[in-house]
Amino acid sequence: MFKTKKKTKILFVAPEVAPFAQVGGLGSAIHSLTRALARLNYDVRVMMPRYATIDTSKFPMSSVYEALEVPNNGSGPIICNVKVHIPNIDDPTAPVITYFLENQEYYETRANVYGYADDAVRWAILSKGALEFIRFYKEWRPDVVVASDWQTGLIPNYLKTMYGNSKIMSDIATVFSIHNLSYQGMFDHRFVNEMDYDDGHSAVPEINNPRLLKINMMRRGIMYADAINTVSPTYAKEITTPDRGELLDSLLQEKRSRLFGILNGIDHMAKNPESDQNIEFKYNAKNLKERAKNKKVLREKFNLPEASDDIFTIGIVSRLSEQKGIDLLMETLPPLLDNFKFQLVVLGTGDAKYLSFFTELNKKYPNVATHLSFDSVLPSFVFAGADAVLIPSKFEPCGLTQMEAMRYGAIPIVRKTGGLADSVEDYDPIRQKGTGFVFEKFDNYSLYGAVVRAIEMHKHPKNWQALQRRAMLSDFSWDKSAKEYAKLFKKAIEFKKQGNGEQGIVM
């Protein structure tokens, strides 16, 4: 961590933040990262929309700015309010200070965070509203603004163009954080005709202009930010290639001097087998005999047939989608189940064709059990009771499942991509090193071989327990990641002082 005379002030802007409103990993990541940065003595805060679903009895708010005018040339400003939640400083699990952009039409009357035809408008208002709040709110002004994923990709763009000549705003650095490059706006970026293509250089359309729905906010975030980061070092390299660059690889190659990869973390307090209230038998890396009792609990929970405790048990905890490599599982699991004795537990929901596959697999094989719907408690049972977890992702920006599984002593079997490559070291039987089983090629033969390696290795209890201990003792804490973000913020401030080559249009 670099030292300054005063606390560096950081503002994260995002469409979702736990515990207020969370849909995916983005909300959880921002919640944990900002708390870790606060522990490093940063003055870090968050801004998000004020959704009607936020429980104000649990998270009381007070008004800090009334009638904030969000510019919208031609139709008059959009009027918003800003409220703030001040957390209990004595609560170690509390979020950081959080501002809420309040607007009845675009946020409070919506039942969901995402999924509306005018989402691009909603996120443009959030982006512009956050900057207007910074401009007029005199009590606190950030040194760095972190824009999270495509939904807030217009923040760096607006700051360089609309606010480019503002003395108040000109010193604020921006970091654009890419959590998944596959999502770039309100369209499929792979199929855009020439008339709708957004090269990022033109002025951002006004909020009431239908053209706004065609703007590639991911591209613009990359183009205009002072620094760019992704959620793992390997993914940062992968997205500069045509194979994983989602048509932005050339731009990312140009920006590679400002592109960084920082591995996400997990909450070691929440994900702890010594204190997890969801599991029956608590344990740690020094007490793996107690962990073994959870395998029987897992079998009972999923109605698997009785078996000896040394039968190899594999867990799958995943969104069932193409990205997660489920097509490989469809090819590989039947021959594995036909030729090897093991039990399989599948937990997740997703695309219909994958749900059908696992439903039929469950019917055909008595050693397979499934729970094909979302559940927030069952993953603890799987991680605490399974010997291994299977994660054959086609691509994976970061991934948290492998980290959580390792924390509980479930050994990951993963494809070498993105954050999986950065967090799992392949087992070496000669040197007795490694924390999991890694395969490289995206094909069923490579996956088959990795699973067989794990099954055979499990027959050697002493070596297997040593592997479990190494996995459990791996440091994936957010405190470690936060120190890397501290370095990134320093670089962003330095880049800002040096000036940015992408100046855009001053308005």
Copy the structure tokens of residue 469: 């201990």
CA separation for the pair 483, 231 (Å, rounded): 14
Decide: 230 and 397 in contact? Cβ < 8 Å. Answer: yes
- Stated length of the chain: 507
User: What number of other Cβ atoms are within 10 A of residue 197's Cβ?
Assistant: 10
CA separation for the pair 493, 290 (Å, rounded): 49
For 496, half-sphere exposure in the C-beta direction (CA atoms, 13 angstrom radius) is 23
Q: Could you tell me the pTM of the whole model?
A: 0.92
Instruction: Give the H/E segment covering residue 445.
Output: helix 444-457
For residue 78, what are the β-bridge partners? 70
Vertex 151: Cα angle to 150 and 155 (nearest 5): 90
Residue 178 backbone phi and psi in degrees, to 5: -95, 115
Look at strands 98-102 and 78-85 and give their pairing: antiparallel
Q: In order of start, what are the domains of the chain with their CATH numbers?
A: 9-265+479-498 (3.40.50.2000), 288-475 (3.40.50.2000)
Longest dimension (CA), the chain: 73
CA separation for the pair 177, 57 (Å, rounded): 32
DSSP string, 70-107: E--TTT-PEEEEEEEE---TT-TT----EEEEE-IIII
User: What number of other Cβ atoms are within 10 A of residue 386's Cβ?
Assistant: 26
Ordered per-residue pLDDT tens for the chain, 507 residues: 455 468 999 999 999 999 999 988 899 999 999 999 999 999 999 999 999 999 999 999 999 999 999 999 878 899 999 999 999 888 888 999 999 999 999 999 988 999 999 999 999 999 999 999 999 999 999 999 999 999 999 999 999 999 988 989 999 999 999 999 999 998 889 998 888 999 999 999 999 899 999 999 999 999 999 999 999 999 999 999 999 999 999 999 999 999 999 999 999 988 999 999 999 999 999 999 999 999 999 999 999 999 888 899 999 999 999 999 999 999 999 999 999 999 999 999 999 999 999 999 999 999 999 999 989 899 999 999 999 999 999 999 999 999 999 999 999 999 999 999 999 999 999 999 999 999 999 999 999 999 999 999 999 999 999 999 999 999 999 999 999 999 999 999 999 999 844 443 332
Q: Is the peptide bond between 19 and the residue preceding it cis, with omega within 30 degrees of 0? A: yes
User: What number of other Cβ atoms are within 10 A of residue 176's Cβ?
Assistant: 32
